[in-house]
Amino acid sequence: MPASATISGLFVYPLKSARGLSCARVRVSTTGFEWDRQWMLINAHGRFLSQRTHPQLARIVPQLAADELLLDAPGLPRLRLPRVSSGERRAVRVHRDACVGLDEGDAAAEWASRIAGESARVVRVPTQVERFANADFAGPLPAPLGFVDGFPVLVCNQASLDDLNTRLPERIPMDRFRPNVVLEGLPAWSEDRIDALTVGGITLRLVKPCTRCTIPSIDQQTGEPSTDPAPVLRLFRFDKALRGLTFGENAVIVAANQAEVARGAVCEVSFDAA
C-alpha cells in the first residue's frame, strides 16, 4: 500500500567529491539533478579524483552563479568556470567506465593541481551524455549519467541515520553519505523496500542499495578523518550479494521532463510487492 514521506533535504554536488550545495528547489532531468557532478578532477592518466584518495577535496566549496561555477578552496584564488564548456575532449575514467570529459583549460588545471597535490585537470560533462547506469540494476531503459559514481540520484532516509547514530560512539551528520534526496516520515531502513518515489511529475525508481566506501569517515567540512560508521554498519548492513556495506538507495529517473522538486514536498512512496 502506498505511503508518503517528506523531502527534508535536496543536495547537488557540482564538482565531484567537493562539498555539496543544499537547495530549496532542484530541476530534474533524465540524467539526475541539474548541475550534479557536472565537473570533476582527473589525474595525469585521466582517472577521476575523489575523497577516497584526496580527502582534501571536501574543502572545495562550490557556488553556482548566473553563468558560471565558482570554486573556493583554502589558500587558493577563486576559480571561475563557465556553465557552458567547449573545451577539448579528453578520455576519462569514472571507476570502470571509460567516457569523455571536456577540458576546462590550463588555468583550471593549475588550480586543480595545487589542491590535489599532483598533476590534475578539470573536466566537464559533454552536452551529449555518453555514459549510462548498469542495466543489470537500472533496467532496460537507458539511464544516462554525468560524473556520478553509478546512478543518477542517491536517496537516504533520515530515520536510518538516526538509528545508526544510536549505535555509534559519536553522532555523524547526513552529509557524510552525500545524498541527493533525504526523506523524513518513514521507519528506519524502510528505504530497502521502496520501489518508487513520486512527487509532482517526477518518478524515481530505487534500483540498488548504495555500497559505501571510506568517504563517510571523512568530515565534510574539514576533509579530516572522523568517526567511521563502517565497523558498526558491518554488524548489520553487510550485503553479501553486493559485497559491501550499504546505506541509502541508488535511483534512476523514470519520468521528469525538466520538472522541479522542492524541499518540503510530500512524495508518494510505493514499496516492493514482496
Which of the residue ranges 76-80, 177-181, 247-251, 258-262 would you say has the lowest mean pLDDT?
258-262
pLDDT at 129 (0 to 100): 85
Sequence-separated (6 or more) residues with CB below 8 Å from residue 104: 39, 81, 85, 87, 121, 122, 123, 124
Sequence-separated (6 or more) residues with CB below 8 Å from residue 138: 132, 151, 207, 252
Q: Residue 58: name the closest of 228, 220, 227 by CA.
A: 220
- CA–CA separation, 191 vs 50, rounded Å? 26
pLDDT (mean) for 163-177 = 98
- CA–CA separation, 238 vs 117, rounded Å? 34
Give the mean pLDDT of the chain.
95
pLDDT (mean) for 200-214 = 95
The pLDDT tens digits for 212-239 are 999 999 999 999 999 999 999 999 999 9
The pLDDT tens digits for 84-114 are 888 999 999 999 999 999 999 999 999 999 9
pLDDT (mean) for 149-165 = 97
DSSP 272: -
pLDDT at 2 (0 to 100): 66
Buried b (16+ CB within 10 A) or exposed e, 62-86: beeeeeebebebeeeeebebeeebe
Burial class (CB in 10 A: 0-12, 13-18, 19+), 207: buried
Centre a 10 Å sphere on the Cβ of residue 20 and count the other Cβ atoms it contains: 20
The pLDDT tens digits for 4-33 are 999 999 999 999 999 999 999 999 987 899
Is the model's pLDDT at 209 over the cut of 70?
Answer: yes
Cell numbers placing 147 = 560524473
Buried b (16+ CB within 10 A) or exposed e, 162-178: eebeeeeeeebebbbbb
Is the model's pLDDT at 256 over the cut of 90?
Answer: no
The pLDDT tens digits for 70-80 are 999 999 999 99
Task: Show me where the domains of the chain are located.
Answer: 3-271
* Interstrand relation of 181-184 and 153-157 (parallel, antiparallel or unpaired): parallel
Question: Residue 131 in contact with residue 97, Cβ under 8 Å?
Answer: yes
CATH code for 3-271? 2.40.33.20
pLDDT confidence bin for 274, thresholds 50/70/90: low
- CA–CA separation, 40 vs 62, rounded Å? 12
